[in-house]
Amino acid sequence: MNIYDLIVKRIKEAQKADSDGPVTNVSTSAMLTAEITLISSVLVALIMLRLVNNVLMMVAVLVVLFTAVLAMPIMPQLKREMNDSLYAMTFYMVLALVIVITLFYWGNFNV
């Protein structure tokens, strides 16, 4: 079994656990595309760390690559996390508020 089949199998398993409809080819391939898009764009974005430090960039890219491969079906979990429940939304909103304020308050002093 090659790696593609392995990933597809794991995505199908993850989808079956919580999906509201039948698992179709379209939905699996959509999930796979989303997965690849997510990982690749995050990796490309991480390359921008080179402006800070080259070594840091390499370490970050490698670490994220390995964690992503190990935790492979990320997208089903992400989708479950980004649901429409008010609790999740308020939680992430308050989290974002804290991050933004902290970033602006301390970040600008220390950049």
Partner 1 sequence: MIMDTQLASLFTAGALIVIGIFASVFLDNLIKKVIGLAFIGDGANLFLIAMGYKPGGIVYIYLPGMARDWFAQNSAYPLPFAMVLTSIVIGASTMAVMLGIIMVLYKKHGSLRASKVLGE
Partner 2 sequence: MNPLIALMIIVPIICALFLNLLHKKDRTIKAIAIVMAITLPLLPLLANYGLHYFGGYEPLYQNPALSKGLPSLITGTALNTFHPAITYSFQDAQKLFIFILGLVAFLAIIVSLFETRRPSGVYGFMMFMGVAAVSALILTDDIFNFYVFFEIAALATVGVVLVSQVKGNYETALKYMILGSIASPILLLGIALLLGVTGNVNITDIILSLKSGAVNPQNPVILMACGMIFFGWLYGSGLPPFHTIKSAIYSKALPHGAALLQAFSVFTFIALGIIILRIFSYLPLSQLVIIGVSLLAMIMGITMAILQTDLKRMIGFLAVGELGYIGLGLGLGTALGITAGLFQAVNEVVITAFLFIGFGTIYYQSGESDIRKLGGFMVKNPKVALLVLLSGFAMAGVPPLNAFQSKLMLIQASVQAGLPELGVIMILLSIVTFMTFMKAFHAVYMRPQPSDLEIKNDFIPKATILALSILLLVCLLLGLFPQMATNYLQGISTSLAGGVP
Q: What residues line the site for partner 2 (CB under 8 A)?
A: 21, 26-27, 30-31, 33-34, 37-38, 40-42, 44-45, 47-48, 51, 75, 78-79, 82-84, 86, 88-90, 92-97, 100-101, 103-105, 107-109, 111
**Which of partner 2, partner 1, none is residue 111 near (CB under 5 to 8 Å by kind)?**
partner 2
Contact residues for partner 1, defined by CB under 8 A: 83-87, 90-91, 94
The rounded distance, in Å, linking the Cα atoms of 35 and 41 is 10
Residue (5 or 84) nearer to partner 1, CB: 84
Residue (62 or 93) nearer to partner 1, CB: 93
Q: 70-74: which pairs have CB atoms within 8 A and are 24 or more residues apart?
A: 72/7, 72/10, 72/35, 73/7, 73/10, 73/11, 73/14, 73/31, 73/35, 74/35, 74/38, 74/39
